[in-house]
Each structure stands twice: as C-alpha cells, then as structure tokens.
Structure 1
Amino acid sequence: MSSVPGIRREERWPTAAFLVWQIILQALVIARYFPVFSSAEGNYRKTFIDGFHISGFDPLTYCVVSSWATAFDVNRHPLLAFFCYPLYVLNRALMELTGINCAQFVVGAVLLVCSVWAFVLMFRICKELIGTSTFEAATLSAMLFSFAHVMLAAVCPDHFVMSLFALLLTLYVSGKMMRNGVPMRAWQTVALFLLTAGISLNNGLKIILAALFVNGKRFFRLKFILPAVILPAIGLALFGEWEHETFVAESVRVAKIKRSLVVRAERDSLRKMFNDTTSIANDSARTAAFTRFWRAHRQKQLKLRAMQPDRANAGEPISRKRFLNWTDMTTSRTETLKENFFGESLQLHRRYLLGDVMRNRPVIVCYDSVLNYIVEALLVMLFVLGAWMGRRNRLMQTALSFLALDVLLHLVFGFGINEVYIMTAHWAYVIPLGMAFILPRLAGWPRIVMRTLLAALTLWLAIWNGTLLIEYLYQ
C-alpha cells in the first residue's frame, strides 16, 4: 500500500485490511454468477435481470457495460450511462480478446475503487476533521461498510457505492473548507453537482446544501448562485428531458401500442369464442352481453395483476403521473423505521434473506432474535448522542441536512419506501460520523469503553451480515 498514490502512512494498514475484505466479497459475488454472466453472446439484459438476485439491487450496470444503452432511469440517473461508456468500450475490447463477457470484472474494479476511496475518505473525516485516533477512525470506517446494505452496495452492480464515494468526497472537501475558512467556488460546486446528481439526481441537492453550509450568506449572492446552482440545475434538467425524448419516449410509446394491441387481440379472440358458443341471437343483445363479460374479465385480470409483488408492495402513490408515481402514502412509517430504515439497512433479516419486494419478499419483515433489536437500539442511541454532541459543528450540520433530505424523500413522501434499505449508502455514513463526535469528548477509561463498544458493534455487524451474505450466495 505504500506505493499507492494518495494513501497516507497511518491509512495504509486499515486500508490494506479493508481492500482484502472487499476483494474476498467481490470474488464471492463474481464467482456465484460467472458461469452464466460470462457468456459473450445472447440477450444481455434478460441474462442479467433474470439471473442476478441480491435484495433489490439492479444489475443494470452489467447491461450498460455489455451493450451500451441508457438502461438506467434517465430522470433519476441522467449522466450515469454516459459515465459508464468508457467501461463499455473497455469491456468490448476485452470481449474481443478473451471471448468472454468481462462486465463483472470491469464493474467490480470500479466498485472496488469507489469502496476503497470511500473508506479512506470516511477515515480522514473522522481523524482529520473530527479528531479521533487512528484506531477509532478505522473502526468507524469499518462500521460503515459492515452495515448490511452498504456492504451489499460495495459488491452489487448498481450505482449506490458510487454515490457513497461522491457524497463522502463532498463532506470531506466541505469539511476542510469550513475548517480553513475557505469558500466553495462556483466551479467546485458545479463539478461536485454534476458528478453526484449525474449518478443519482436527488443527491445533487446535497451538493447545494453543502455549498450553503460552507459559504453561508455568500451562497445567496447572484454571482455565485446563478453559475453554481441555477444554471447547472436547469442544464441538467434540460439534458434529462433531451435524454428521455431521444432514448426513452419512443420505446415507451411502442410498449403502450404493443400492450393495447395485445389487449385488442385478446378481446377479438374472446369475442369470436363468445359468439360461437352463445345462444343469444339478437346482435345488440349479444354485443351487450359480451361487453359485460369482457369488463368482468378485465377486472379479474387487473385484480390478479395488482396482487403481484411488484404492484402489491408498491403502496398507493400521490399520483400516477411522472415522478409522483414513485411516491407511497400507505406503507407504515413506524414499521419501516424499525424494520427497514434502521433495521434491514444495518442488519440483514434472516427470514426472506436478501429477497426482493418486487419478487418474493414482504415489505415488512421482523427479526427472530431480540439481540438484533438491541444492536439496532444501541446504534440509534449512539448516533443520536453523537449528533447532539456535534450539533454546533457545521460538518455535522451538513451531514444531518443530507440525512434530513433522505428522510423527507423516503419517509415523508415515500419515494422508494417499500425497499428503503436499498438507499442505505446515500445516508448511513451519518451514523458513524455522529458517533465520531462522542470520542473527542471522552478521556481515559470512558473513552476506552466507548472505543471497545464501537469495535464490538462493528465486529458483530461484519460477522452477522457477512455470514448471511455468504450463506445466501452459496446456499
């Protein structure tokens, strides 16, 4: 590790140990799916979507790297497919050389780099900006990646660990600026915004929050807010609309036409069958009778469709219109907080292990052991205590504003609430970051006890979640 550019002396051993752990987990996931995913031919999307099942993570990155397309939702991930284009070029070259699809290795390398540097950034935030010791910083950084759906995000071919890296980079850069009294420049804000919002649009708002906390009143000056916030936001929105119209709108229109043609063909077939078997001779009466039969048939079909997991677990949105159809007003917030937001996000449930709510998992699953609830309560209490101790620190305030945004989106409006744990990497860093503010307030035995407790919690989470992940992959 001593030869790796940017890795400091005190970071080498913790980072080396973390790198080994990540390589092991990456190898286990790749090996599990390699026999099927290594084929250089066939329908890539069908192969990956049908074959990859770890919680609700989507293997769309494998699809994009294998055969480039804007497979991601362009409204939520406007630049992600374009960020992946160089990976696609690399993978196609490797496919020509080796005869196999190397998407797993190419994407795995990116996930590994993002994970390692997210670990390093978390380490630096704790040690350099908050004042913990090297051991404490390493423990809290390891705790972040021992959380269930951060551990998974680091090895699953989705975008979440990329977002984690971008958000921790933002917090680290912002923290240094606040400590040194240096304002965030417009170009820096734009660069962070395009990187973060390009990966996941809602996280772009966090860059604006970070700039607000760093710059204070200067944020509202027109010479900053116009080039740093307003113009990039408008530009990205316009790009998203262009991307939708160019790559998505036609396929949506074609899909609607196909669905209507299928329904029409079914209706025509049933009408012929009805006319051949009915004893009603009068044309108008026969037509009226078939209309009643068809309506009852369609209602039955729609009810059966509504019972499918992807619909039954989706909840009732505010509206079926674009963007608002992602909301959910009916899923229980209290149960979600206990079992998913602070539950499945941090500790996997053994029942319905790593199931997908769109396939085979209920939205709410309870733990079999009270020990899991004790660990959950300890994590929440320590986080709340640390957040209170660091409440006057602008770095802590910035991180809490990030968390508040996710709470607003997921728990208030219900965006993705039925599988809210999938978004853990977008906010879970706030928990160890909050805990870090406890440690500098302590000395002597109290600090040793707190350090030991944090290490024990980290070890428990790593063993519990790691064991269940391996059990799931090779059951």
Structure 2
Amino acid sequence: MSLFRLFRIRKEERGPALILLLVFIGLNALVIQQHAHQYFLGAHGGFWSIFRKTFEVSGYDCWSWITISGLRVHFDTVRHPLFFSLLYPLYWLNQGLMTLTGHNCAVVLMALVVLFSAVYSGLFLFRILREIMRLSRADSLLLTAFFFSFGHVMLACMVPDHFAVSMLLLLQTFYVSGRAMRQKRDMASWKLGLLAFLTGGISFSNIVKVYLAALFVKGKRVFRWRPILLVGLLPVVLLVGIQRLNYYCFEVPQAREVGQIERKMEQKNPERVRKMREGARKTQAKLNAKDFGDGEIAKWITLSTPRWPGLVENVFGESIQLHRDFALQDAGHNRPVIVRYRAVSNYLVEAVVVALFVLGLWKGRRQRLTALVFSWFLCDAVLHFGLGFALNEVYLMSAGWLFIVPIAVGSLFSAVRRPIPRQTLRYAIVFLTIYLWAYNGQIILQYFL
C-alpha cells in the first residue's frame, strides 16, 4: 500500500474524521486557553519559566513547547531518540512566525502535531475494526468512540507530549501488519524496518512491538539475513546514531551553558541553589521510589509500588476513568501514587470493562490478530507491572496499549452470533461510551475552566 493510499481519507471515513478533528480541536483549545496570555509571549522570563510554571496535567510534560520555542532539550533522548528530530523543523518554523507576528506559536504548532496524530489514530483503529476484523460500520464507529472515551486516551490527544504520536505509529503498524496477515501475504523487510525506525524513534521500547509484528507477518522468514539486517539491526543503529548526534550537537553545549549559569547562581546565592537541588532530589525520590539506582532507565524501575492497588486504581482505573480527587494533578507534586474512587459505581464500571476485555481476548484466542495485540499487551505488562517501570504514573502510557480493549471487544462482537446477546452487548458499549465521555469530559472541563 502506497503512503498516499495509507493516509487518504476514504468516503466512509470523512464524517468520523471531521468529528474527531472538531472534538480534539476543542480539547486542545482548552489546554491553550488556560494560560494563553503567557503561552504566546516571547521569552521575557525564559521559556522554562513561562511553560513549566503554568502547565500541569497529570504528569504529562510540556518539553515539546520549550524545544519548539528555544531549542532546549529537557526530555530523555535515549528513550525518545527521534522526538527531537520531529520538533527541530517546528523550531525553525516557529522562529519565522515569531519574527512575523511577535508571538510564540509553539503551542499551536505542537497542537497541530497532536491533532494529526489523534485523527489518524482514530482512522487506523476504525480500519482495523472495519477492514481486518470485518465488523459493521456502526460497530466499528462505536468501538472507536469507546476507545477515545478513556480518560488518558482523551488526555493524550490534547497535551503537548509524545504519547499521541506514539499511539498513531503503533496503530499504523498494527493496521499494516493486520492487513498482511488477513491477506496471507508477506511484507517487505524495508517497510517493517521503516516502521521499527519511526515507532522506536518516538518511544524506544515500542520497537519490540514492531519486531513482534514482523514475527507474526513473516513467520520463520523473519530470521533470514535480510529481515535481521533491515528490521532488527539497521533501525537500532540509525536511532542510536541520531541520538548521539543530537546529544553532542545540542545536549552537551546546553549542559555546559546550564552549568555556567548554576555556578554563577551558586556564587550569588548558594543557599537557594542547595534548596533547589534538594527539592528536586526529594521529588524524584518520591515519584520513582527508586530500587535500582539513579541511571536514566534504572531510576524509573521500582518494586516498592504496591501492585494490586496499582492495577485497580491506575492501570484499569485512572487510565479509563479519571479520579475526582486530585484530578489531573501530578504524582511528582501533590497527587498520591494511589488514589481511590469515591463511589462503588466507578469500580463496577471498571469491572465491566475488564470483564468485556478478558472475555473478548478469550473469544479471539485462536485469531492471529488478537494474539499479536495480546503479545503487545504482555510487553507492556512485563515492563510496567512486572518491572515497575513508571508504575507510579502508568496511566500516562495508556494511549500505547488501551486500544487492545476495543479490539478485544471487537472479537467479542464477532463471536456473539445470536441477535439478543449481540444487541445487549452493543447497548452495554453504547452506555459505557456515553458514560465515560460525560464523566471524563466533566472532570477535564472543570480542571481547565
């Protein structure tokens, strides 16, 4: 499939695409309007001061705004080796716009990236359900709306972080791989290698998911020299090379400059600098509950976070239904790691969603498509729930795995043939979708307005 055909919006997709676009324009506008009078300013007080002191949404980062504004790198390029390269052209475009208008347009430029990612994520999920799983158009639209009603999927499509871009690339990979499996044909190794490069470039751990997709599509052929070279080795080599290049060209000079500024501050006010460093250390220790040291990866791994409350309140809780207490607050600041719902009804909704998810996986257990997406889910389960990687804020990663829920429910739709149970299932999903959009939407609106 050519790139043009892949991203061409078909006739039956135009209505859903327009609705998604309008909804997420509104949600992104909510984020921007909250402090628009500061976001559009030049760097009179420094871009860090403008953005970091005003933006707080559940622990999501606004580093992209700072990079587009002043070419500063504050995110971990080892875990996101291609993200800086995505933002770099936007920095130069923003420089031109600032010269012409006198306003910083970083928030708008990043919102365009998030909007594109959100709309096409919806379209790829719709195609997975419609073309590959062969559901009706109505059921495919319903399950797509169901997916976007999840709290942290909704948030990922409105905050200036990398999660919406990662979601788009994962769903694109799943769609392309699923088509090949459905048609029982091979995929060119260079195409899988390109997907590995792009998907792993935004979040390096996701490269494993592309390898799994290649294994399902190519079978034993994946162990031949060409796939090993083009899919396995070349993307990793390129990503490491790009990360090292950006590190030495941008991060090292930036660190040197920041070091000089800190030394000057320390000479003028050593007590203030000491308190700032101590506060940062305590915040990091509180958030990560470190068990494995202070390395870039090790500092995010923990065994001390309780697993069962984390599963109930964060993995299948906060990810799908936002908590009203400490709503959208950052676990690194005021929000406790474990927050409980006020009402029993929230737990009942969670139980129904999990039951539909598990039942759908069971009904689709003999389908290769379900097996592929479940293997992806297991990767995230081992990483976050097993090792405890970022478990304290695991709901932030929701957009990278929660699409397994509507896909599993889609398998349930396919398995239920009798009219009355099928219609009952459909009404249940309609109710859950309306409820979650209303419930999560109200919390989001109250927070930003």
TM norm structure 2: 0.91
1:358 aligns to what SS in structure 2? coil
The alpha-carbon deviation at position 322 of structure 1 amounts to 3.9
Partner of 1:435 in structure 2? Answer: 409
**Counterpart of 2:251 in structure 1: which amino acid?**
V
Matches of residues 311-322 of structure 1 in structure 2 within 5 Å? 311-322=285-296
The alpha-carbon deviation at position 367 of structure 1 amounts to 0.3
**Any conservation in 2 of the 1:61–1:158 contact (CA below 8 Å)?**
yes
Shift in alpha-carbon separation, 1:259–1:98, aligned structure 2, 3 A: closer
RMSD, aligned CA: 2.4
- Cα distance in 2 for residues equivalent to 1:404 and 1:323: 20
**Counterpart of 1:32 in structure 2: which amino acid?**
Q
**Any conservation in 2 of the 1:310–1:359 contact (CA below 8 Å)?**
no
Answer yes or no: is 1:461 the counterpart of 2:408: no
Matches of residues 191-210 of structure 1 in structure 2 within 5 Å? 191-210=194-213
The alpha-carbon deviation at position 317 of structure 1 amounts to 2.5
**Any conservation in 2 of the 1:183–1:214 contact (CA below 8 Å)?**
yes
Partner of 2:392 in structure 1? Answer: 418
1:84 aligns to what SS in structure 2? helix
The alpha-carbon deviation at position 85 of structure 1 amounts to 1.8
Partner of 2:3 in structure 1? Answer: none
**Counterpart of 1:6 in structure 2: which amino acid?**
R
Partner of 1:278 in structure 2? Answer: none
**Any conservation in 1 of the 2:290–2:300 contact (CA below 8 Å)?**
no
Partner of 2:365 in structure 1? Answer: 391
**Any conservation in 1 of the 2:288–2:299 contact (CA below 8 Å)?**
no
Question: In the alignment, which of 172, 186, 205 is matched to residue 175 of structure 2?
Answer: 172
Question: In the alignment, which of 135, 145, 154 is matched to residue 151 of structure 1?
Answer: 154
Answer yes or no: is 1:472 the counterpart of 2:447: yes
- Cα distance in 2 for residues equivalent to 1:154 and 1:322: 26
The alpha-carbon deviation at position 259 of structure 1 amounts to 7.4
Per-residue CA deviation, residues 289-340 of structure 1 (Å, 9 max, x unaligned), is: xxxxxxxxx9xx8997599443223212323334222211211111110000
TM norm structure 1: 0.87
**Counterpart of 1:472 in structure 2: which amino acid?**
Y
- Cα distance in 1 for residues equivalent to 2:280 and 2:43: 35
Partner of 1:119 in structure 2? Answer: 122
Shift in alpha-carbon separation, 1:315–1:75, aligned structure 2, 3 A: same
Shift in alpha-carbon separation, 1:7–1:305, aligned structure 2, 3 A: closer
Per-residue CA deviation, residues 397-439 of structure 1 (Å, 9 max, x unaligned), is: 1111111111111111111111111111110111111110011
Per-residue CA deviation, residues 375-402 of structure 1 (Å, 9 max, x unaligned), is: 1111111011111111121111111111
- Cα distance in 2 for residues equivalent to 1:69 and 1:359: 23
> What fraction of aligned residue pairs are identical, expressed as a percent?
38
Per-residue CA deviation, residues 224-280 of structure 1 (Å, 9 max, x unaligned), is: 21222123213322433443344335655776798799899999x9xxxxxxxxxxx
Matches of residues 233-272 of structure 1 in structure 2 within 5 Å? 233-249=236-252
Per-residue CA deviation, residues 429-467 of structure 1 (Å, 9 max, x unaligned), is: 111111100112223121111111111111111111111
Runs of 5+ unmatched residues, structure 2:
1-6
Partner of 1:273 in structure 2? Answer: none
Partner of 2:303 in structure 1? Answer: 329
- Cα distance in 2 for residues equivalent to 1:112 and 1:260: 41
- Give every structure 1 segment of 4 or more consecutive aligned residues whose post-TM-superposition deviation is greater than 6 Å: 253-267, 301-304
Paired residues, number: 439
Partner of 1:19 in structure 2? Answer: 21
**Any conservation in 2 of the 1:310–1:357 contact (CA below 8 Å)?**
no
Question: In the alignment, which of 223, 226, 229 is matched to residue 226 of structure 2?
Answer: 223
**Any conservation in 2 of the 1:309–1:360 contact (CA below 8 Å)?**
no
**Counterpart of 1:383 in structure 2: which amino acid?**
F
Question: In the alignment, which of 24, 35, 38 is matched to residue 36 of structure 1?
Answer: 38
Per-residue CA deviation, residues 82-134 of structure 1 (Å, 9 max, x unaligned), is: 11122222222222222111112111111111111100111110111112111
Larger Cα Rg: Structure 1 or Structure 2?
A: 1
Runs of 5+ unmatched residues, structure 1:
270-297
